[in-house]
Amino acid sequence: MNDMLIIFVFLLIPGFISMIFIPYWTRKTESFGVSIPEDVYNRQDLKTMRKQYSMLTGILGLLITVIFLMISSILTNSESVISILFSVTIFVFLVGSFLIYLKFHSDMKKLKEKENWAKEKSQQIFIDTKFRNQKLTHSNLWFLLSFLISIATIVITLQAYQDIPQRIPMQYNFEGEVTNWEEKSYRTLLINPIMQMYLTLLFLFINKMIGYAKQQIDPENPQDSIRRNVIFRKRWSAYIILSGLALTLMFSLIQLSFIFPINQQFLTLIPLLITIGLIGGAIGLSMTTGQGGSRVKSTGGISGNVINQDDDKHWKLGQFYVNKDDPSLFLEKRFGVGWTINFARPLAWIILLTIIGLAVGIPLLLGL
């Protein structure tokens, strides 16, 4: 049980770190969901706000971790209960960190209104009509590897169907012991290959989305901004491709364990290592690249005379973009690293709900 708690803590820490340092990974033209001129980013009061947010979020994460460990150690020895408590811990941290964010978002709005930074600056939108002619992502052909692995997994499973035991393991505990069995059927045996296909299609879609997401170019230094944004997109594209391949191989390994003797503790360890690797990779990219390439070394300076057009009115609570006049479906997050949707576009909602519906529906339809 102690080993399980240690594993859970190792999973919590990277997630907490990613929230603690968000203000340092966001674009320098945005602060706590509020647009600002880049030349004020390094003002002492804004630096203090970022430090305070990180400190408060870090304290919250530490307190929640301690509480999680205390309750887990005295409550029960049931792994299922500990897993539920782990999920509750993450939820509480997300809610708590969001409330902390809202406090700083409100303070930032008041400071911006007081300082009126945009009063003597020209607000502009820079559009590069040749932007999408560049290679913004790595080739989608890389996903053929995942598709081929998935197809091979299906073929091997069907050929070995008669040799597979009548009861197959579907869940292991942290000691490598089977905690859930299912009767063999084509439906239960195909759940892993079908999830492989779903995840491959999902990552393929994300890779396409990275290329088609809305431009966000700094009008003060457009060429350097474009260069850094291209780097940002290509790095995350590579991450998506490698993540998809890693998850596909993981599902294949689990599937092959139904046919060939594979150490059960090894089967438990591999998903944990892949999870830690994916989280660590995302944190590493955020640290080195930042949102939109903001942490990529700049080759030019700023004058402070030109700023992006202020569109704060379209960002509800600084995080939810709602603009029915903007045809864009996907765009960069205002607070954090990655992309979000235009919540005013019905098609964006359809895509989001379809992705969620398939993720939930596939296991349910297959009776798991």
Give residue 185's pLDDT: 80
Per the domain annotation, does 175 fall within a domain?
no
Per the domain annotation, does 235 fall within a domain?
no
Residue 11's pLDDT band, with cuts at 50, 70 and 90, is confident
Q: Which of 185-194, 274-283, 352-361 has the lowest mean pLDDT?
A: 185-194
- Name the pTM for this structure: 0.87
* Number of domains, the chain: 1
Nearest to 174 by CA among 355, 350, 5, 362: 5
Run of H or E residues at 167: strand 167-172
Residue ranges making up the domain that contains 17:
1-115
Give me the half-sphere count of Cα atoms (radius 13 Å) on the Cβ side of residue 206. Answer: 22
Per the domain annotation, does 27 fall within a domain?
yes
Q: Is the pLDDT of residue 149 over 90?
A: yes
Q: What are phi and psi of 350, to 5 degrees?
A: -60, -45
Give residue 259's pLDDT: 83
Per the domain annotation, does 11 fall within a domain?
yes
Report the share of the chain in percent with pLDDT over 70. Answer: 88
Q: 124 is written with which tokens?
A: 């502009």
Q: How many residues does the chain have?
A: 368
pLDDT in tens, 77-90: 666 777 788 888 89
Give residue 302's pLDDT: 60
Per the domain annotation, does 96 fall within a domain?
yes
- For Cα atoms 201, 249, 361, give the angle at the middle one, nearest 5 degrees: 45
pLDDT in tens, 50-67: 999 999 999 999 999 888
Per the domain annotation, does 24 fall within a domain?
yes
Torsion-angle region of 281 (φ positive above 0: left; ψ -120 to 50: alpha; else: beta): alpha
Per the domain annotation, does 263 fall within a domain?
no
pLDDT in tens, 277-315: 998 899 999 999 999 998 988 776 665 566 677 788 999
d(CA 206, CA 213): 10
45: Cβ–Cβ under 8 A, 6 or more apart, which residues?
A: 111
Mean pLDDT of the chain: 85
Place of tokens 């205390």: 70
Per the domain annotation, does 213 fall within a domain?
no
